[in-house]
A and B are shown apart, each in its own frame.
Chain A
Amino acid sequence: MELKTLLIISVSAIFINNFIFSRFLGLCPYIGVSKALDSAVGMGMAVIFVMTLASSVAWVVDHFLLEPTTSNLFYHLLRLKTPPDLVFLKTIAFILVIASLVQFVEMVIQKTSPALYKALGIYLPLITTNCAILGVTLLNLDMGLNFIGSVVQGFTSGLGFTLALVLMASIRERLELADVPRPMRGIPIAFIMAGLMAIAFLGFSGLKIR
């Protein structure tokens, strides 16, 4: 892929189609973990890591096991006449890939780097059901990206997610001191904040809001 295309993918994933503010992916951790800055950073790092890995592994799974092309492994192993079209199994395949990947990463980090495990460990189990991860693998497939494109989109989408999370956490830490009307405290005001930030992010698209 051209460098220019990769740059467009990156800018789009971080700012224009930000996972939180525009695509609405990964909202549960966004509302749940964005109360304190350090946990937001931890969660963000874990998401970037798993998203990049998941994007690459999901591409390999799709390309060599699901797509009806001559690079399909079943086509060679079972000596089929035509390559099988298994794309309908994408949801089940990707979610299993992500679930086992998260387990695996957790095990490896625990063994190799106790410091990293301490920082990311508690966030990893939450990630399996984070729709941002499955979301990015499905988006890569929908957009027909190649391997490099998928990895770049996975990494930069994670960056965009972290950016949103960190921004939000910083605001919420200050919000603790503010005099918010009682019924709006907690989640409701967090949504209002997200709405206001989403308006700011609309600016990146260069669109006019009438």
Chain B
Amino acid sequence: MSVGKEFTKGLYAENPVFKQALGLCPTLAVSNSVRNAVGMGLAMTFVLVLSNIIVSLIRRFVPRKIRIPIYIVVIATFVTIVDLVMAGFAPDLHKALGIFVPLIVVNCIILGRAEAFAGRNSVFRSLLDGLGMGFGFSLALFVLAFIREILGDGRLYGFPLLGPGFEPMLIMILPPGAFLTIGLLMGLMNWLDKRRCS
């Protein structure tokens, strides 16, 4: 596979959220506003890239039987770093994301990439893979949050967009809105893919 593909595959073809249905919890939970979605996307990308790099670096020294616990420790370390830095420099965002920052540890995307990719590939390819998957995740989060915030709150990134005359569809910003939006988006993508093939 060409090097460029390692990056671009994560954006659409192997998008972790829409195509692999991984990392759903934070995707649905923090996509109620674009601001939260962007913050979460950045945090996630940071952890993905760095844990991919480290896992790839140590892949020859790790005994096969205990590789998973070791990957988890590596991931948890970077997650805690993000948690601490966010608390210190972006306290409002830290407050809004709540327990979903530490929960990045159990995000199946990260452990999945460590196990399926970084543990078997060179550092450079792992970096690109992490970056691509991170951006793919952020993109999915952004699309969801964009739809939900505009329809559910009439705002975008906290700025009033549709004016006071718009009656927000409250349900979009509540939990059900997240399920409905992602279900419809996935259906739409299946439909588009099928049309393109035929």
Contacts and interface: CB of A to CB of B under 8 A. Distances in A.
A104 to B, nearest CB: 13
Interface stretch (A35-43, A75-83, A130-138, A147-155): A130-138
Given A31-B24, A195-B180, A134 B105 contact: yes
B176 A187 contact: no
Contact of A28 (B24, B184, B186, B187): B24
A21 B25 CA distance: 11
A22 interface: yes
A27 interface: yes
Interface string B69-93: 1001100110110011000000000
A96 B106 CA distance: 11
Interface size class on chain A is 35 or more
Contact of B190 (A99, A139, A183, A190): A183
Contacts of A196: 176
B21 A187 contact: yes
Contacts of A139: 99
Nearest to A138: B99
Interface of B is mostly: helix
Given A28-B22, A184-B190, A188-B190, A131 B103 contact: yes
Contact of A183 (B73, B175, B180, B188): B188
B183 A190 contact: yes
B179 A92 contact: no
Given A21-B175, A23-B29, A195 B183 contact: yes
Interface string A41-71: 0000000000000000000000000000000
Interface residues of B, number: 44
A210 interface: yes
Contacts of B83: 88, 91
Given A31-B21, A88-B84, A209-B174, A95 B180 contact: no
B28 A27 contact: yes
B176 A202 contact: yes
A92 B80 contact: yes
A167 B76 CA distance: 33
Contacts of A129: 106, 108, 111
B170 interface: yes
A99 to B, nearest CB: 6
B93 to A, nearest CB: 17
Contacts of B99: 135, 138-139, 142
Which 8 residue pairs of A and B lie closest in terms of their CB atoms, listed nearest first? Answer: A191-B183, A195-B179, A183-B190, A195-B180, A24-B29, A183-B191, A198-B176, A188-B187
Interface of A: 21-28, 31, 88-92, 95-96, 99, 128-131, 133-135, 138-139, 142, 181-184, 187-192, 194-196, 198-199, 202, 209-210
Given A31-B24, A142-B98, A184-B187, 8 more contacts: A21-B176, A24-B25, A183-B191, A188-B183, A190-B183, A198-B174, A198-B179, A209-B174
12 contacts: A24-B29, A27-B28, A31-B24, A96-B72, A96-B73, A99-B72, A131-B106, A135-B103, A192-B180, A195-B177, A195-B179, A210-B170
